[in-house]
Amino acid sequence: MGLREGGSVVVMARLPPRDGLARARRAARFLALLVFAISLTWPARATPPLHLSVETHQLPNGLRVILAPDPSLADATVIVRYGVGSADDPKGKEGLAHMIEHLMFMGSKHVARDELLQRMLQAGAANLNAFTSLDDTRYIETVTAEQLPLVFWLESDRLGFAAGSMDQATVDRERAILADEIRSRTYDTVLGAVGGVVRSQIFPTWHPYRHGLDTSALGNITLADVRAFMRTWYTPSNVTLIVAGHLDPAATLALADRYFGDLPGPAPPTRPALPEWQAPDARLEMAAGVSRDVVQVLWRAPPLGLPDDLALDLASLILTDSRGRLQRELVSRGLAVQVAAQEQSMVNASVFGIVALVGDGVDPGRVADTILGVVADLAASLTAEECDRARAEAMDRDLLRLETSLGRATWLVTRPDRPLGVSEHQAVQFADVQRAVRATLLPHGRAVVVVRRDGRAPARGVVRWQQELPR
């Protein structure tokens, strides 16, 4: 029989007699090999859609509610998404959106300091988390359906009443904590603290995505700044409440209306349209206290959700999976110890990036030239077989996310209008990837950055030389 456990089916079967166990294992291994061999001759087929249920509602105050019920799951994940991120930080107040994320755990009108986390943990909540991206801020928890009233009450109370409960002492305390978090999460990464310098090669000075992770602006943030930012952006019509997993849709919608429906708030301001721009063709060399030399190449890419954005996801897999082109040309030949490619999808513009950790004794310039050569060759000689393999890998990854309520809720944050259960990469074809690669990964409008290891350099690195090439 089958027992469903956390979205997976566990099959219970009678074991063979002890004296036949070895023979049974040999037979099973032979059968597995036979099935694998036969499968190599099967034509590639699309994974059938799961057609998981999704409901979208809007409360009278503008708060959006997205429900994805599945009684086979043991729990439900709640994500409260605020449509504001660090790209909305006022100039000179960088870090404000992230600080407010921290302050939202410091109590509200009806919830004392530290009470929110205590109540969540006492209710058995898992996946307790919150984070701020350039585009949004999210608060996450996974609970049983019986605990949804508690979660909705806590989340609605901090949406409606947290700002009025904050004081300057709390802001000052969180400023120090946030600065330490930025240092630990930024300076201890592969690229150290030079990420903002690297990103600045793609985005112009006026672009909201150019914000760096410097902690110096935190000292400019006051309690008045916090309250003004929250009055502007922490309003019901700028919130999406996502609940996925074991839940009753009608009862959950009624709970959402009960706890969130009477919260007032104006609509958030309309962000001005950004002018069009062309990324420069830039080369940059830095010195920083990184663990080893690093080479990074960046291109501006289409925004989140556009067809070429999904196609470039597959291009990143083609370049760096276990049989990928960059693996063969860099890692297998000892030029790099590790290489990765990613389409970082964002609302206003994405970034396609390749980063390589340079091998011992290898000239980083040689690694950079190899990367550029591989990308140029990809545009000229991409194969349908590579696309099929990447699509299958991406579809497996997409479907794996759907095994948990957290994976489903996260899916709906970034793709609320896409069917839940249908791999978003399923429809991406060879011609789509070929077009996206040729249109985006151009031999111009890219940033090539070499970061050389230097223990004497400051944490944020120092630019040794920089040039912008004519287009």
What is the residue range of 61's domain? 55-260
- Of 208, 230, 260, which marks where a domain is finished? 260
Q: Are 355 and 292 in contact (CB under 8 A)?
A: no
Q: Is residue 317 part of a domain?
A: yes
Helix H or strand E segment including 384: helix 384-401
Polymer length of the chain: 471
Are 340 and 247 in the same domain? no
Give the dihedral sign, CA 385/386/389/392: negative
Neighbour tally for 193: CB within 10 Å: 23
241: DSSP letter:
E
Are 221 and 74 in the same domain? yes
Q: Is residue 127 part of a domain?
A: yes
Are 298 and 236 in the same domain? no
Q: In degrees rounded to 5, what are phi and psi of residue 350?
A: -100, 170
Residue type, 373: G
- Of 230, 260, 290, which marks where a domain is finished? 260
Q: Count the domains in the chain.
A: 2
Q: Is residue 375 part of a domain?
A: yes
Closest to 203 in 3D by CA, of 342, 67, 299: 299
Residue type, 279: A
Are 247 and 329 in the same domain? no
pLDDT tens series, the chain, 471 aa: 332 223 322 222 323 333 443 443 344 333 333 333 333 333 344 444 566 889 999 999 999 999 999 999 999 999 999 999 999 999 999 999 999 999 999 989 999 988 999 999 999 999 999 999 999 999 999 999 999 999 999 999 999 999 888 899 999 998 888 888 777 666 555 555 566 677 778 898 899 998 765 677 888 899 999 999 999 999 999 999 999 999 999 999 999 999 999 999 899 999 999 999 888 888 989 888 788 899 999 999 999 988 899 999 999 999 998 889 999 999 999 999 999 999 999 999 999 999 999 999 999 999 999 999 999 999 999 999 999 999 999 999 888 889 999 999 999 998 877 777 777 888 899 999 999 999 999 998 899 999 998 888 776 677 888 777 655
Q: In degrees rounded to 5, what are phi and psi of residue 454?
A: -155, 105
Are 245 and 288 in the same domain? no
Are 252 and 297 in the same domain? no
What confidence score (pLDDT) does residue 218 get? 87
Pairing relation of β-strands 281-288 and 462-469? antiparallel
Q: Is residue 274 part of a domain?
A: no
Sheet with 126-132: list strands edge to edge. 55-58, 64-69, 239-245, 76-82, 137-143, 126-132
What confidence score (pLDDT) does residue 192 get? 54
Are 233 and 186 in the same domain? yes
- Of 229, 260, 291, which marks where a domain is finished? 260
Are 336 and 254 in the same domain? no
Q: Is residue 80 part of a domain?
A: yes
Are 145 and 218 in the same domain? yes
Q: Is residue 348 part of a domain?
A: yes
Q: Is residue 294 part of a domain?
A: yes
Location of structure tokens 């011992």: 360
Are 125 and 210 in the same domain? yes
Name the token pair of 81: 């998404």
Q: Is residue 174 part of a domain?
A: yes
CATH of the domain at 80: 3.30.830.10
Are 287 and 373 in the same domain? yes
Torsion of CA 127, 133, 136, 138, to 10 degrees: 10
The DSSP bridge partners found for residue 418 are: none
**3-state SS, residue 358:** strand
What confidence score (pLDDT) does residue 186 get? 60
Are 399 and 435 in the same domain? yes
